[in-house]
Chain A
Amino acid sequence: MAAVRNMQRLWGIGVSAIRQQAALKTSRVLQQRAFRLNGAQCQQSFDSSLEKPQFPGASAEFIDHLEFIQPNVISGIPVYRVMDRRGQIINPSEDPQLSKDTVLNFYQKMTLLNTMDRILYESQRQGRISFYMTNYGEEGTHIGSAAALDSTDLVFGQYREAGVLMYRGFPLDLFMAQCYGNADDLGKGRLMPVHYGSRDHYFVTISSPLATQLPQAAGAAYAIKRENSNRVVICYFGEGAASEGDAHAGFNFSATLECPIIFFCRNNGYAISTPTHEQYRGDGIAARGPGYGMLSIRVDGNDVFAVYNATKEARRRAVAENQPFLIEAMTYRIGHHSTSDDSSAYRSVDEVNYWDKQDHPISRLRHYMTARSWWGEDEERTWRKQSRKLVMEALEKAERRLKPKPELMFTDVYKDVTPDLEKQKDSMVRHLQQYKEHYPLDQHEQ
């Protein structure tokens, strides 16, 4: 109550200020003359060669010659690497010195994702699921970054980050359940395949509209900062999505509102068919970070240790300093954009082969492991067989499972089912009773 009164008082002050202003306007001419006089006096007391710009919008010096700032795109921001294409550590001081178990886990998660991709891709080709998007070539970005996070750090993704969930232990059964939209799917069969999400794994449900997650991630990071819980938010997106207005919003809000967030851009060279030179003309995405006042780095996305190191340090500093970081992981989209796309229509098979055969995150890590005698042909063969079996079992189980009951269409639109939706549900149920032979009721739970 006191507050309200206070506000009324404040408002009163506001009104009188405005009235004063109006009164001043009537003597505007006088005022202007006085102002001009003041201005002239100020000018005299300054030596213009010593003058510093006073503009509120930027802190900078004057210069006395015309010069446009050149973008540096020929020699761009360098790509941070820890190991070369043969898995050799280049600079020992950058070696994260991860234990054998940790590295084996990296490798197994990357290859398990790869196996799942192959099987689900085929499954779509056979018409068993409606849609799929593989992660070929980008497995290192997922696992390297996920490993550098705490397991409760909140993840906002685009759709090609299944490896993050894989690293966090999201069960194969639930990957499959989502793609099949069966009754076990956490999302109740409502979203297209690969739109995963899990509260238990702090992975916010994927949605199709690109870049919408960027400002959302900034908001979540702000709320987490206020909780004081030493957590960070990571937000993944492709270089194509970075062209959306929401990317601009997310970067700028994170910087001005000092949010503990890591923006992780997967620059894989293509947005469906659009190559990067039709996407932007600057030095990629990393070069935009400093424009927003954001610490930025470019890493080799096929080097799981480089990704790990960059993410680890960004996480440490983002939490400590409450400021955003931008990591641009350079990589290559080896697979088609999705199962609805044939990428040979816009790029050469040779180009794809180079990345698949010469510079792949999985083979690079395998070189590293082989050099340490942590992995050999036998382990590889056994693991391939085992991972394939795991995936096939999950797939068959998902395929056998019925889909959700049709009534689940009406829940979760609002927190509670509204009377209108209750009526619409009843009308559907009545309709189905009368026309059941025209609907795939046998495939759904009842």
Chain B
Amino acid sequence: MAARLLLRSAAVKAAVTDVHGSNAGVSFLRLSPSCSLRLKTQKRHAAHFTFYPDPVPTQYGPTTKMNLFQSITSALDNTMASDPTAVIFGEDVAFGGVFRCTVGLRDKYGKDRVFNTPLCEQGIVGFGIGVAVAGAKAIAEIQFADYIFPAFDQIVNEAAKYRYRSGNHYDCGNLTIRAPSGCVGHGSLYHSQSPEAFFAHCAGLRVVVPRGPIQAKGLLLSCIADENPCIFFEPKILYRAAVDQVPTDTYLLPLSQAEVVQEGSDLTMVAWGTQVHVLREVADMAQDKLGVSCEVIDLQTILPWDKETICKSVVKTGRLLISHEAPVTSGFAAEITTTVQEECFLNLEAPISRVCGYDTPFPHTLEPFYIPDKWKCFDAVKRMINY
């Protein structure tokens, strides 16, 4: 119950955050009753990242300026238009969703295709599996990635193993689960988590995280088209903060393929989601302050992940830094580290560095100290270069 109350307030706060990340703190101040007009000293910490927009894509037809939540809506819109079996469901998706990702879809496609479910995550995923087993496209929403755990059994024991255990006679490859994830500045324990590593240990799933509106739409459309059950984590802090020119038509970005977003020669940096933008800023800092050339890679798909692109880069640079918001112990960086150590042993010139969340729950007012921000990453780069 408490979780639901908080959820509402967090959603509203996110809803009032301005489209431009830099103003987020200001608009929050204007509207929050608890600190209305009073104290400058309580002004919230500035955003921990700067969004690096992508160049305007030219190969997929006309584009429109969209933030991340609008690009999700656009992907869902394209899917609903092209596949009459597709249905979207979850908690509060009918009126547009607490993050506005499904705005307008119910009016456009009907209430039998975009509908609210009872408040029950294991039900949502189980229901979605059933829809997919019957051959229709199921797009389920879990309101926050933090609340995906009640559905862990349905995801891990059922969705992931459906095709395998039936000898390919039944499958739920038509299922896509979307969930907002990652830190949001004030989300505390249950509106901030990045649970991708829990699912990375589960063969049969795809786990995908986009870094911006262009990737969000292309990767989500690929997840929906993919014939395996997919979990799509949307970094909620980017919903409004990230704006790109996004193609309005359907386009697919390849799954299980990392993207080199900035080439470099001295050090490889790997991240996904919001953290890619943190590392891009770190790369600029490293260039300016240390004269170090960093290669920044967006992993994009956590499972099955693109070993080849990462290893190729590390063979070239000889150094690897991995950064994620989730806690360090058994976080996905551990998997990358081990693999790169196995594949690139002779090329490594420094120990692989992991800059991650601490092994604590995600705290509320202590968030600025918790997250693996640019200064923590920059310090790690410095130490690696001097190793």
A-side residues, CB < 8 A to B, are 1, 3-8, 10-11, 14, 18, 22, 25-26, 154, 156, 185-188, 190-191, 195, 197-199, 204-205, 207, 209, 212, 214-224, 226-227, 245-246, 248-250, 252-253, 256-257, 411-415, 418-420
Contact = CB atoms under 8 A, between A and B. Distances in A.
B316 interface: no
Contacts of B22: none
Interface string B124-139: 0111111111111010
Interface in B293-347: 304, 307
Contacts of A8: 70
B133 A219 contact: yes
A230 B64 CA distance: 43
Nearest to A199: B169
Interface in B100-123: 100, 103-104, 108, 112, 115, 117-118, 120, 122-123
Given A199-B170, A221-B130, A420-B304, 7 more contacts: A1-B248, A18-B15, A25-B33, A188-B167, A215-B127, A218-B126, A249-B127
Interface of B: 12, 15-16, 30-31, 33, 36, 62, 64, 66, 70, 73-74, 77, 85, 87, 96, 100, 103-104, 108, 112, 115, 117-118, 120, 122-123, 125-136, 138, 150, 153-154, 157-158, 161-171, 173, 203-204, 206, 226-228, 248, 256, 304, 307
A212 B125 CA distance: 10
Chain A interface, DSSP helix/strand/loop, else mixed: helix
A187 B167 contact: yes
A78 to B, nearest CB: 30
Contacts of B16: 18, 22
Sorted nearest first, the 9 A-B pairs with minimum C-beta distance are: A219-B130, A215-B126, A249-B123, A223-B134, A205-B166, A216-B130, A219-B127, A220-B130, A220-B134
Contacts of A418: 256, 304
A221 B74 CA distance: 28
Contacts of A11: 70, 100, 103
A187 B122 CA distance: 26
Given A186-B167, A222-B127, A256 B108 contact: no
Given A25-B33, A257-B115, A415 B130 contact: no
Contacts of A412: 163-164, 167-168
Contact of A22 (B30, B62, B206, B228): B30
A252 B124 CA distance: 11
A364 B260 CA distance: 72
Contacts of B132: 219
A245 B122 contact: yes
Given A219-B138, A250-B123, A209 B117 contact: no
A190 B165 contact: yes
Given A197-B169, A226-B87, A217 B104 contact: no
Contacts of B307: 420
Contacts of A227: 134, 136
Contacts of A415: 163, 171, 173, 226-228
Contact of A7 (B73, B135, B168, B227): B73
Nearest to B256: A418
A256 B122 CA distance: 16
Contact of A209 (B123, B127, B158, B164): B158
Contacts of B206: 414
Instruction: Pick the most buried of B127, B131, B227: most chain A CB atoms within 10 A of its CB.
Output: B127
Contacts of B36: 25-26
A219 B90 CA distance: 12
B201 to A, nearest CB: 14
Given A4-B64, A7-B104, A253-B117, A223 B131 contact: yes
26 contacts: A1-B62, A4-B66, A4-B74, A4-B77, A10-B104, A11-B70, A11-B100, A22-B31, A185-B167, A197-B166, A212-B126, A215-B130, A216-B129, A217-B130, A218-B130, A219-B127, A220-B131, A223-B85, A223-B87, A223-B138, A253-B117, A257-B127, A414-B304, A415-B228, A419-B304, A420-B307
A6 B104 contact: yes
Contacts of A22: 16, 30-31
B112 A226 contact: yes
A185 B169 CA distance: 11
A18 B96 CA distance: 15
A95 B358 CA distance: 70
